[in-house]
Amino acid sequence: MKHRLLQFDRMQPSLEAALAERYDVHPLWTESDRKDFLARRGHEFAALVTRAASGADAALIDALPSLRVISSFGVGLDKLDLDAARRRGIAVGYTPDVLNDAVADTAFALLLDVARGLSAADRFVRRGEWATKTFPLSTQVSGKRLGILGLGRIGRVIARRASGFDMEVRYHNRRELADAPYAYEASLEELARWADFLVIASAGGPEARHLVSANILDALGPSGFLINISRGTVVDEAALVEALAQRRIAGAGLDVFENEPHVPQALFGLDNVVLLPHMASATHETREAMAALVLENLAHFFEHGTPKASAI
């Protein structure tokens, strides 16, 4: 008999097909009154599949009294109530590592784009301005100083990418890492003051909210660039908009925002910021690997009692 599984929202077709083959799946997104459905039938489900962007809050977890495992498509945990899961003894699987390369690639794509003004130059050419104007000089990347906030799985891959550009790397974490081959800055403000480029690769969540404040942006300064491929909430977005508009920092490359998919209108007219639609891990290869790990987490739990990649 197949385990009963609740699918929170749409997944890529290959993953949906694999889930339907292996489990008795109910698509929660088709319910017009989710609260009523969960009150009537929430007790049926042993497993929940969700996305990092959707998560699972305490109310959803409480509405599933038979829930034993959550398998999340993504690496972010800020929208998953891990404390609620722990209290119930519910296992939580997620998809780390398989997206490290794609996200690190995107971080460097943003870094190169905003430093060299590539997207702005593309718009310059498309507007027909090349025939009558000279595009402004840009900033060289090679040989510069790269500061990384969050030297975790993705942060370490970003640091390795930097070696190809002969960049000096330093990092800031809550604590120094004994195995890190890079210099540690005990203060984020000092890291920002030192860096030419500050890349945010830290985890999100309430404790990291607005960690990159107006003071941090001022420490980065008018020749410094901010790159964020983490979570939009890590940056004080209003302060960032102001710093970019006033040129108190040189520029920013942003894949994430505080209130996605809503992006501050004030950013649209600025040529010193590159805006992406939260696509850092969005490659065919990475999405298939993430889907495979969602399935492996479920299968490993039902066979061995723990997900292959456990978040708690």
Report, as residue numbers or ranges, the catalytic residues.
231, 260, 278
Around Cβ 166, how many Cβ atoms within 10 Å? 10
Torsion of CA 251, 257, 260, 261, to 10 degrees: 10
Q: Which two three-digit tokens encode residue 112?
A: 């190169």
Residue labelled with tokens 């209108």? 265
Distance of CA 52 to the CA centre of its chain: 9
Long-range Cβ pairs for the range 13-20 (8 Å, 24+): 14/288, 14/291, 15/73, 15/291, 15/294, 15/295, 18/291, 18/295, 19/49, 19/295
Q: Which two three-digit tokens encode residue 299?
A: 């299968």
